[in-house]
A and B are shown apart, each in its own frame.
Chain A
């Protein structure tokens, strides 16, 4: 499908551009909004893969709930523009070689075994559909799923306790 490929490239470019913009912007609100763009274009890429439910949840949870709270906090604190610094020395010493090594590995893999990489296919026809995800979450992985919810609950209670102590 040529349309799928074109759409994938378009949203991929938007996604990467949003991520770069997130780092380049000096104002926290602009950075947060770039992150929303990244989330939204990721959701559209999920949609292109046929994972409708995951795409919708990506929008509702990440772009719609978590990032709204981020923006909310930035607005409440009325955070201004950040000073542009020269960057830390650790980032220069470890980060730059790290990026070079990572990019080199990925590039080398793509060049040398690129033929095998494209052969991964998602076999199940109802991949990413609501029913199959529900079956996975509430049947096959019920225990980890419930334990995660308890973990989140503990985190919420911890936040409340810390907040009370401050006040």
Chain B
């Protein structure tokens, strides 16, 4: 593939993925309002379009048309920079997420991943350190939240952002350590290779168990640590103290209005997607699922994407379900849970996994 085609293909992929992602984000807000509504025995949005399906569109128009206010006495540069930083950093992480193997359109074969490259020989290679990039980008995303609260020059915002950054830094440790077990089992940091290591089925004592070779089974503890840390990392209930509306108005984005608020909102949902994608890739075999041998080639290559999307949908559903079910933690409970329970558990998980890996050679 020459440079021009490469760039054209890359731009098409980026545009498509970002479009699908942002549409997904918009409809996740719809899904959330619908589901939480049903959980609380009400209807959710019903007025705009059938089943309220056009509600995200109406919300978007409303966000764009609202007056964009910048309060007096804010640190103006950082006040404007913060939402941009939050949204940009959350969107960068989709670049390394693989959605499937390859797709062939108009004679051109390309990997179903923005940062995946197809060789002339037909092999695919993706970025070697995909997982680390996601962790790094998430840790930079903390600045968006921290700066938003500080630059707003308001006590609710500052308290919210202090809580948010403390929480994100604390749970990032447990999050990172919960993934080490996966790295020990797969021996790579490339997301595509990690998914590749999960193909086939588990074979125990020479017997084919017909259980998919997903890492959730040996890493069930790691998975639960990841799930809990991910809820905290994305500031979702039961860890949504940074925006606890009963005490902090809205937390770090109290002073934001119009599109700047929408950017924080979008960043939060994109982060939910990233975390859900990562959970599917690392623990649930990514795009692996049943094949249909008789289907045409295009369906063959898009079917894995469907499996992947279903797994991601499951996690998004779980997020909303938990939001509709659980109350909020208290701040000291949150910190004690992260540092005194999740972190030691994650370290124990690493030790046990590495001993088993070393023992099996």
Interface residues of A (CB under 8 A from B): 29, 33, 36, 40, 52-53, 55-57, 59-60, 63-65, 68-69, 71-72, 75-76, 129-130
Q: Contact between B133 and A56 (Cβ–Cβ < 8 Å)?
A: yes
Q: Contact between A68 and B165 (Cβ–Cβ < 8 Å)?
A: yes
Contacts of A129 in B (CB 8 A): 128
Flag B106-131 by CB within 8 Å of A: 1 or 0 each.
00000000000000000000011100
Known: A56-B136, A59-B140. A68 touches B146 (CB 8 A): yes
Q: Does B258 contact A (CB under 8 A)?
A: no
Q: Does B158 contact A (CB under 8 A)?
A: yes
Interface residues of B in 116-159 (CB under 8 A from A): 127-129, 132-133, 135-140, 142-143, 146-147, 149-150, 158
In the assembled complex, the CB of A38 is this many whole angstroms from the nearest CB of chain B, namely 14
Q: Contact between A52 and B129 (Cβ–Cβ < 8 Å)?
A: yes
Q: Contact between B150 and A53 (Cβ–Cβ < 8 Å)?
A: no
Contacts of B138 in A (CB 8 A): 64
Contacts of B162 in A (CB 8 A): 72, 75-76
29 residue pairs A–B, Cβ–Cβ below 8 Å:
A29-B75, A29-B78, A29-B147, A29-B150, A40-B140, A53-B132, A56-B129, A56-B136, A59-B136, A60-B132, A60-B135, A63-B136, A63-B139, A64-B135, A64-B136, A64-B138, A64-B140, A65-B139, A68-B139, A68-B142, A68-B143, A68-B146, A69-B169, A72-B162, A72-B166, A75-B162, A129-B128, A130-B128, A130-B189
Closest chain A residue to B138, Cβ basis: A64
Q: Contact between A36 and B136 (Cβ–Cβ < 8 Å)?
A: no
Contacts of A29 in B (CB 8 A): 75, 78, 147, 150
Contacts of A36 in B (CB 8 A): 143
In the assembled complex, the CB of B196 is this many whole angstroms from the nearest CB of chain A, namely 17
The total of Cβ contacts below 8 Å across the A-B interface reads: 71
Q: Contact between B136 and A71 (Cβ–Cβ < 8 Å)?
A: no
Question: How many residues in B have their beta carbons less than 8 Å from beta carbons of A?
Answer: 27
In the assembled complex, the CB of A68 is this many whole angstroms from the nearest CB of chain B, namely 5
Q: Contact between B139 and A64 (Cβ–Cβ < 8 Å)?
A: yes
Q: How many Å lie between the Cα of A36 and that of B138 in the bound state?
A: 15
Q: How many Å lie between the Cα of A2 and that of B64 in the bound state?
A: 42
Q: How many Å lie between the Cα of A76 and that of B135 in the bound state?
A: 25
Known: A72-B146, A75-B146. A63 touches B129 (CB 8 A): no
Contacts of A40 in B (CB 8 A): 140
Q: How many Å lie between the Cα of A135 and that of B147 in the bound state?
A: 39
Contacts of B150 in A (CB 8 A): 29, 71, 75
Contacts of B78 in A (CB 8 A): 29, 33
* Most chain A C-beta atoms within 10 Å of own C-beta, residue among B143, B147, B172: B143
Q: How many Å lie between the Cα of A75 and that of B305 in the bound state?
A: 44
Contacts of A60 in B (CB 8 A): 132, 135-136, 139
Closest chain B residue to A54, Cβ basis: B129
In the assembled complex, the CB of B135 is this many whole angstroms from the nearest CB of chain A, namely 6
Q: How many Å lie between the Cα of A65 and that of B78 in the bound state?
A: 20
Q: How many Å lie between the Cα of A64 and that of B135 in the bound state?
A: 9
Q: How many Å lie between the Cα of A55 and that of B140 in the bound state?
A: 14
Contacts of A75 in B (CB 8 A): 146, 149-150, 158, 161-162
Q: Contact between B143 and A71 (Cβ–Cβ < 8 Å)?
A: yes
Closest chain B residue to A53, Cβ basis: B129
Q: Contact between A56 and B143 (Cβ–Cβ < 8 Å)?
A: no
In the assembled complex, the CB of B95 is this many whole angstroms from the nearest CB of chain A, namely 14
Closest chain B residue to A57, Cβ basis: B132
8 further A-B contacts with Cβ under 8 Å, apart from A56-B132, A68-B139, A71-B147, are A40-B140, A53-B132, A64-B140, A64-B172, A65-B139, A68-B142, A68-B143, A71-B143
Which of B132, B133, B139, B146 touches A71 (beta carbons < 8 Å)?
B146
Closest chain B residue to A43, Cβ basis: B136
In the assembled complex, the CB of B218 is this many whole angstroms from the nearest CB of chain A, namely 22
In the assembled complex, the CB of B166 is this many whole angstroms from the nearest CB of chain A, namely 8
Contacts of A33 in B (CB 8 A): 78, 143, 147
Q: How many Å lie between the Cα of A61 and that of B138 in the bound state?
A: 12
Q: How many Å lie between the Cα of A53 and that of B132 in the bound state?
A: 8
Contacts of B172 in A (CB 8 A): 64-65
In the assembled complex, the CB of B328 is this many whole angstroms from the nearest CB of chain A, namely 23
Q: How many Å lie between the Cα of A139 and that of B149 in the bound state?
A: 45
Contacts of B129 in A (CB 8 A): 52-53, 55-56, 130
